[in-house]
Chain A
Amino acid sequence: MYEKHLMICGATGCLSSGSSQVEEALIEELEKHGIKDKYRLVMGGCPGFCEVGPLIVVYPDEVFYSRLKPKDMAELVEKHLVGGEIVERLLYKGPDVDAPARFYDTIPFYAKQKFNVLRNSGLIDPESIDEYIMRGGYRAFTRALNMDSTTICEEVKQAGLRGRGGAGFSTGLKWELTYKAPSSKKYVVCNADEGDPGAFMDRSILEGDPHAILEGMLICGRAIGADEGYIYCRAEYPLAIKRLKTAIEDAERYGLLGENILGYGFNFKMNIKEGAGAFVCGEETALLASIEGKRGMPRPRPPFPAQSGLFGKPTTINNVETFANVPLIVKEGGVDEFVKVGTDGSKGTKVFALAGKIRNTGLCEVPMGITIREIIYDVGGGIKGGRAFKAVQAGGPSGGCIPDELIDLPIDYDSLNQAGAIMGSGGLVVMDERTCMVDLARYFLSFTQKESCGKCTPCREGTKRMLEILNRISEGLGKPEDLDTLDSLATSIKDSSLCGLGQTCPNPVLSTIRYFRNEYEEHIEEHFCRAGVCKELFNYRIDEEKCTGCTACVKACPVDAIKGEKKEPHEIIQELCTRCGSCIEKCRQDCIMITPVGSEADVSN
């Protein structure tokens, strides 16, 4: 028996902030004290709070150490492990807590979260099937082996599980359709392509709890009558692929995959297919084509994959997170427990990746129906730098923005749709007053435009023209009729594109026009970008009244565009200024203003 378990976050985020070095230092320290055998070290899955990584959680004490450096390990070992005393210095500190906080109960980031999908992430060794089983793993699958297809589908339907990959289709219904499609060969496919920029929910699950996905797929296979599964995983996720491979090998060894599983006469073969990295390959028909070795291009539906999918056979394709939910539902009493969380139309939890101008970036899992305010201010710790919240982009490049006035909108499939956004895969990009909405729309559209597969006319040609108009607007060359053109073009593209990419990619444009029309108009008519983003459309000016002549800006300026004597008000020479924004970040007096080109006045607030 180990005295304590130390979970070091070994997921991609913390690895890149140095968790391997922390682990090495920890081992060294433990060896120095000759107590290495007493402690179990695990490079585990991501507990979400990547912002403050690398981190270690000590169990059973549930102490959460953050922002660790290798040199902190001596103290951690000596004080906590040997001395039994918590190292205050390494605990989480932040403006959202009064005193250094220990973990779930006291760190606000965790307080409103609910761990369904991330139940094991960071808690178990993802490379150990035993630990997964110890935590109740594969029990739902063995239960499913004793159930008939209809009952399994029925339970998943009752639980109200909706697809977490984007569209939010009822998972149980999808399974039922595949089950009913007549064929002796069927497939289960897991969509682990996760192509949304900035999204890493699926990666975290894959890295932190791979068996949960295998179990979900096995239950699905049992339900629809499939004997083969594919996990289509981005090649950019090497760690996820490695852990999946280990998980598959282990499951095969344990007789949970392969022929005649657990003596039930059920066979299941699991394959991994590495994706080629195109965003559109996440679209289900393109993904299937890609597995078949063809160019990843969407094809018209119907036929839906449930009727004719991989290699022409009935196929259920679900997202990683969808599958990870399944064991929770199919376990004994799972449905009742599952439906307790969430809203009427959206049951359970959703994992979000918080990004943008928010204090606590990272991953969180929250009950459906939580409001945007709660996510931003409670889980997310509010806006970075104390600026004002402006909007949040939900659903990535296919989604839309939700403005400040809708901050109390509950997050569920239907409310988001009504607001012009989508749940999507769960990206939340938070924006403050320094975000330009034209620029935001431009950013997402340039992504989708590049990623359009090029097959259908509206998407291939239309997004290009929309992007050109947005580019023009952000360069001050917008025309009054541009907004109408954007609107009608966007409508045509949505209305007549072949696949979800084209059908949704105008959303960021449409929703920003819907909520921030004045900002567009200001760009077009007044040639002014109030957020100070579109470089042609504003000037930086120093408020002479406020400037103390501290010279911080002078030092920051890379092109020597600021002049002024020490302790005297400074001035920016517009001809030289490249609007790099360095000075405004450095000025502590807040006296650098964003003003229209050629204007003296500060109209930014």
Chain B
Amino acid sequence: MSAIELTIDGKKIEVEPGTTILEAARQLGIDIPTFCYDPELPSNGACRICVVEVEKARALVASCVAPAGSDMVVHTASERVINARRAILSLLVANHPLDCITCEKTGECKLQDYCYRYGVADSEFSGEVKELSDDDSNAFFVRDMNKCILCGICVGKCQDVIGAGAIDFTKRGFVANVGPAFEDSIEDSTCVFCGLCIDSCPVGALIPKYSLGKGRPWEITKTRAVCPYCSIGCNVNLHVKANEVIGVTPVETNPVNRGHLCIKGKFGWDYLKSGDRLTRPLIKSNGVFLEVSWEEALALIADNIDEVKTRYGSDAIMGLCSPKTTNEESYLFQKLIRSLGTNNVDSYTRHCHAPAVDGMMEAFGSAAMTNSIEELSDTGAILVVAADPAESHPVISYRVREAVRNGAQLIVADPEPIGLTDLAQHYLPLYEGSAVALVNAMAYIIIEEGLQDQAFIDKRTEGYAAFKAAVSKYSIQDAAEVTGIGEEELRSAARAYAGAEKAAIISTVGANYSAAGGGLVLALANLALLTGNLGKESAGLYLPYGENNLQGVSDMGALPAVLSGYQLVKEKAVRDKFSRSWKTEINQNAGLSAAEVFTSGENSAIKALYILDENPVTCIGEENVETVQFLANLDFLIVQDIFMTETAALADVILPAAAFAEQEGTYTNTERRVQLTRQAVNPPGEAFPGWAIIAELAGWLGFEWIYDGPSDVFDEMTSLTPQYAGMSYERLKTRGLQWPCPSEDHPGTAVLYEGRFSRGLGLFTVVDDQTAVPSRTEISVSSAAAYHACQCQSDSMSKRSVINNFKRDSGR
């Protein structure tokens, strides 16, 4: 269709068909007021403040919903328009408390701004006003519906974007309202406290409790940081007044969360101010911790490390790195441990994700998520198996909802309804443990009906013949029996997945450390290979990690067998490269893994252990006896953390670290995006950023490290790490960069395996296992293996936060 030309306020403009008058005016820099317009919601047209005059039209038109028409002549500020806007403001104000003096929203309230703009000081109408009582039911926000102007944005966000469906319009006429059904309180609704409604409300009707009375918009500085909880890596603005974080809003312009958050990112940061924060180094003396100076603590560590090294050799030393540390901290940490002559460095939680890592390594030759989160919105079909993204990675579930709004087919395979079931055109409530059979049956149907991508199979894969033979062993009737899903449902799900131009798969089964999920990961990889859904946009495998920087910590080489960028310790060229840069020898033997060491109990070869931000003692919800035994047998235990944890309590020295808002650095999210997080406030007391503590300790241990700041560390790392080679803090500022990014002019890589897999050809693997895979429910029932288990570090934050009040089972 050809462009549309119209005239707005005397200026001509050409726009695409379907552009609204509002969008066209904005392109011309004409500012039309809006209350209810939100580009991500379906057209609403409720508040009418955006009306404009279109010549020859009978009535004024709402510019936010009216499409621009050819040869339209539009006036956005005629007298008629201004009068209508004044009337609307006057009507709103007549039914509004107008307690701007104490209102939290003052200064960024649209109603206030527009009244100012159009000179509406007081209403010309007087009469009945709403007198509703506040909904103060919950720990997170207050709903003052007397201030609500019923723009409906919160309803749209809650229903369409979040999918919580906690609120809707209620009643009609003057008493129409917005809220939970049956006038329930929000606490008793299906609200998940994502906070999106709060962030979208144009007036002061929804106010987060954390900011009550804390500060005015103009007193606040906003610092951009990255959420410390899950591996999505949402970008947040930290609101700071007088060295205190007093609020959080989502960053709207970044591709990861695009203005969305979940309860953790929105409300979970108050642990920063917890009284449990460590503020000074502690040394255990006769079973009690004494506050000491940094010098004393570091000297003691240096002495003890030297002693262990002399007495037992370097391999008696180990470092355990938390997946919550920044790239800079984890990079320096493994550098420190390796500089001590051992490769005994690991990230405890990584083995939780071993099935995902191993499965993808086998099929593709590397293990990272194949595509980007934002691409999900444009995919044609999504298969969700053994995952509940609404619980584990909410932002992924928002993207799935968006995809379905855009017309995607959604297939949910889970024994129990999950947070996305309501949306799924294909819900397959399969029997527990039959997911591999289901996926294989889908593959069988795809082959039988000739829906596979033969060109892709021929050119880009190997092992197809054996795979085809294996899946053909079972009939659909067999599969129907094993899975409990009828043939028709199986067929239509298979067709929906294979029939889409681009189809994606989401599963968190890879997060199951019991390793039984490996088969399913392979089966899913087969399905994607079969349909050519790899190496292209909006397709691929989404097996997101749990912890926020698990990807980064692995990338940084906090692993026993590899240095940063997965460069093998056993390869001489690699060791030489690092030795040259680090000016130290690197041990050629791979180190011990955390899993090996932690189960070795009293017989452990490890005598000194340095733990960053991990709490292995109670990692899985309850005390781990084996771990305690192992820790008790150490000669020397160093714990660096932000809280006094159960593990720290066993330490000889505790070093107080800075939390996420208190330091600059980078995190790499689950889609391989390296993002910059900034310092908003000072760490409490004498706490220091982790990277700085490690660098300082290195000095005490006799190494000459000089870093001016975290970006120095980052630059050293990129010079040694091919995937990160083209990155710098400067380049990370707005959108971050996805690795591989080999050179300074490389835009980063959103989609892996375009043209080639890491191992060359994609490998079909026979997974002839009809029973062994646990379903998501089994996983969450046995919480030892559950997703949340792998977020155990988060627990130490969330249990010191208001989000601990959220009863997960309320609502749904």
Q: Are A457 and B128 in contact (CB under 8 A)?
A: no
Which of A455-509 touch B at CB < 8 Å? 455-458, 460-465, 468, 485, 488-489, 492, 494-498, 503
A455-B150 in contact given A300-B66, A497-B48 (Cβ < 8 Å)? yes
A535 at the A/B interface (Cβ < 8 Å)? no
B218 at the A/B interface (Cβ < 8 Å)? no
A485 proximity list for chain B (CB < 8 A): 124-125
B80 proximity list for chain A (CB < 8 A): 495
Q: Are B88 and A496 in contact (CB under 8 A)?
A: yes
Query: In the assembly, what is the distance between CA of A465 and CA of B171, in Å?
Result: 18
Which of A278-300 touch B at CB < 8 Å? 278, 280, 295, 297, 299-300
Q: Residue B95 contacts which of A280, A302, A461, A494 (CB distance < 8 angstroms)?
A: A461
B168 proximity list for chain A (CB < 8 A): 295
Q: Are A460 and B59 in contact (CB under 8 A)?
A: no
Give, as a whole number of angstroms, the nearest-CB distance from A494 to chain B.
7
A451-B172 in contact given A456-B47, A464-B128 (Cβ < 8 Å)? yes
A457-B174 in contact given A468-B128, A498-B62, A503-B59 (Cβ < 8 Å)? no
In this complex, how many residues of chain B approach chain A with their Cβ under 8 Å: the count is: 39
Give, as a whole number of angstroms, the nearest-CB distance from B92 to chain A.
6
Q: Are A457 and B92 in contact (CB under 8 A)?
A: yes
Q: Are B91 and A457 in contact (CB under 8 A)?
A: yes
Query: In the assembly, what is the distance between CA of A278 and CA of B95, in Å?
Result: 24
Query: In the assembly, what is the distance between CA of A346 and CA of B43, in Å?
Result: 35
B152 at the A/B interface (Cβ < 8 Å)? yes
Which of B42-95 touch A at CB < 8 Å? 43-49, 51, 59-60, 62, 65-67, 80, 83-84, 87-88, 91-92, 94-95
A461 proximity list for chain B (CB < 8 A): 91-92, 94-95, 174
Q: Are B169 and A457 in contact (CB under 8 A)?
A: no
Q: Are B48 and A456 in contact (CB under 8 A)?
A: yes
Give, as a whole number of angstroms, the nearest-CB distance from B74 to chain A.
15
A460-B150 in contact given A450-B173, A495-B60 (Cβ < 8 Å)? yes
B465 at the A/B interface (Cβ < 8 Å)? no
A451-B173 in contact given A461-B92, A498-B45 (Cβ < 8 Å)? yes
A464 proximity list for chain B (CB < 8 A): 95, 127-128, 173-174
B149 at the A/B interface (Cβ < 8 Å)? yes
Give, as a whole number of angstroms, the nearest-CB distance from A495 to chain B.
5
Q: Residue B127 contacts which of A278, A468, A495, A496 (CB distance < 8 angstroms)?
A: A468
B175 proximity list for chain A (CB < 8 A): 454
Q: Are A297 and B94 in contact (CB under 8 A)?
A: no
Query: In the assembly, what is the distance between CA of A454 and CA of B172, in Å?
Result: 5
Q: Are B43 and A300 in contact (CB under 8 A)?
A: yes
Q: Are B59 and A453 in contact (CB under 8 A)?
A: no
Give, as a whole number of angstroms, the nearest-CB distance from B68 to chain A.
12
B101 proximity list for chain A (CB < 8 A): none
A489 proximity list for chain B (CB < 8 A): 87, 125
A113 at the A/B interface (Cβ < 8 Å)? no
Q: Are B174 and A498 in contact (CB under 8 A)?
A: no
Which of B667-710 touch A at CB < 8 Å? none
Query: In the assembly, what is the distance between CA of A121 and CA of B255, in Å?
Result: 64
Please, which residue of chain B has its CB at the minimum distance from the CB of A466? B125
Q: Are A495 and B150 in contact (CB under 8 A)?
A: no
Q: Are A492 and B88 in contact (CB under 8 A)?
A: yes
B176 at the A/B interface (Cβ < 8 Å)? yes
Q: Are A496 and B91 in contact (CB under 8 A)?
A: no
A498 proximity list for chain B (CB < 8 A): 45-46, 48, 62
Query: In the assembly, what is the distance between CA of A485 and CA of B83, in Å?
Result: 13
A452 at the A/B interface (Cβ < 8 Å)? yes
In this complex, how many residues of chain A approach chain B with their Cβ under 8 Å: the count is: 34
A299 proximity list for chain B (CB < 8 A): 43-45
A449 proximity list for chain B (CB < 8 A): 173-174
Q: Are B65 and A300 in contact (CB under 8 A)?
A: yes
Query: In the assembly, what is the distance between CA of A489 and CA of B174, in Å?
Result: 16
Query: In the assembly, what is the distance between CA of A485 and CA of B66, in Å?
Result: 29
Q: Are A460 and B88 in contact (CB under 8 A)?
A: no
Q: Are A453 and B172 in contact (CB under 8 A)?
A: yes
A454-B60 in contact given A489-B87, A497-B48, A498-B45 (Cβ < 8 Å)? no
A455-B169 in contact given A300-B62, A492-B87, A496-B59 (Cβ < 8 Å)? yes
Query: In the assembly, what is the distance between CA of A462 and CA of B87, in Å?
Result: 9
Q: Are A457 and B46 in contact (CB under 8 A)?
A: yes
Query: In the assembly, what is the distance between CA of A495 and CA of B83, in Å?
Result: 11
Please, which residue of chain A has its CB at the minimum distance from the CB of B84? A496
Which of B175-232 touch A at CB < 8 Å? 175-177
Q: Are A456 and B173 in contact (CB under 8 A)?
A: no
Q: Are A465 and B94 in contact (CB under 8 A)?
A: yes
B150 proximity list for chain A (CB < 8 A): 454-455, 457, 460
Query: In the assembly, what is the distance between CA of A465 and CA of B92, in Å?
Result: 11
Residue among A299, A451, A464 having the largest count of chain B Cβ atoms under 10 Å: A464
Query: In the assembly, what is the distance between CA of A451 and CA of B127, in Å?
Result: 19
Give, as a whole number of angstroms, the nearest-CB distance from B677 to chain A.
41
Query: In the assembly, what is the distance between CA of A464 and CA of B129, in Å?
Result: 10
A297-B125 in contact given A460-B174, A496-B51, A498-B62 (Cβ < 8 Å)? no
Give, as a whole number of angstroms, the nearest-CB distance from B61 to chain A.
9
Give, as a whole number of angstroms, the nearest-CB distance from B783 to chain A.
37
Q: Are B173 and A460 in contact (CB under 8 A)?
A: yes
Q: Are A453 and B176 in contact (CB under 8 A)?
A: yes
Q: Residue B83 contacts which of A302, A452, A492, A494 (CB distance < 8 angstroms)?
A: A492
Please, which residue of chain A has its CB at the minimum distance from the CB of B51? A496
Which of B340-357 touch A at CB < 8 Å? none
Give, as a whole number of angstroms, the nearest-CB distance from B191 to chain A.
19
B83 proximity list for chain A (CB < 8 A): 488, 492
Q: Are B169 and A300 in contact (CB under 8 A)?
A: no
Query: In the assembly, what is the distance between CA of A496 and CA of B80, in Å?
Result: 10
B176 proximity list for chain A (CB < 8 A): 452-455, 460
Query: In the assembly, what is the distance between CA of A297 and CA of B168, in Å?
Result: 12
Q: Are B94 and A495 in contact (CB under 8 A)?
A: no
B88 proximity list for chain A (CB < 8 A): 457-458, 492, 496
Please, which residue of chain A has its CB at the minimum distance from the CB of B125? A465
Give, as a whole number of angstroms, the nearest-CB distance from A456 to chain B.
5
A278 proximity list for chain B (CB < 8 A): 172
Query: In the assembly, what is the distance between CA of A489 and CA of B90, in Å?
Result: 10
Please, which residue of chain A has its CB at the minimum distance from the CB of B62? A300
Which of B114-137 touch A at CB < 8 Å? 124-125, 127-128
> What residues make up the interface of B, taking CB atoms closer than 8 Å to A?
43-49, 51, 59-60, 62, 65-67, 80, 83-84, 87-88, 91-92, 94-95, 124-125, 127-128, 149-150, 152, 168-169, 171-177
By Cβ-Cβ distance, the 9 closest A-B pairs, closest first, are A454-B176, A300-B45, A461-B91, A492-B87, A300-B65, A468-B127, A464-B174, A465-B125, A496-B48
Question: Given contacts A299-B45, A458-B88, A465-B125, could you give 5 more A-B pairs where the C-beta distance is less than 8 Å?
Answer: A300-B65, A458-B91, A464-B95, A468-B128, A496-B48
> What residues make up the interface of A, taking CB atoms closer than 8 Å to B?
278, 280, 295, 297, 299-300, 302, 449-458, 460-465, 468, 485, 488-489, 492, 494-498, 503
Pull 21 A–B residue pairs with CB atoms less than 8 Å apart, ordered by A: A452-B173, A454-B150, A454-B171, A454-B175, A454-B176, A454-B177, A455-B169, A456-B46, A456-B48, A457-B88, A457-B91, A457-B149, A461-B92, A462-B91, A463-B174, A464-B173, A468-B125, A494-B59, A496-B84, A497-B48, A498-B46
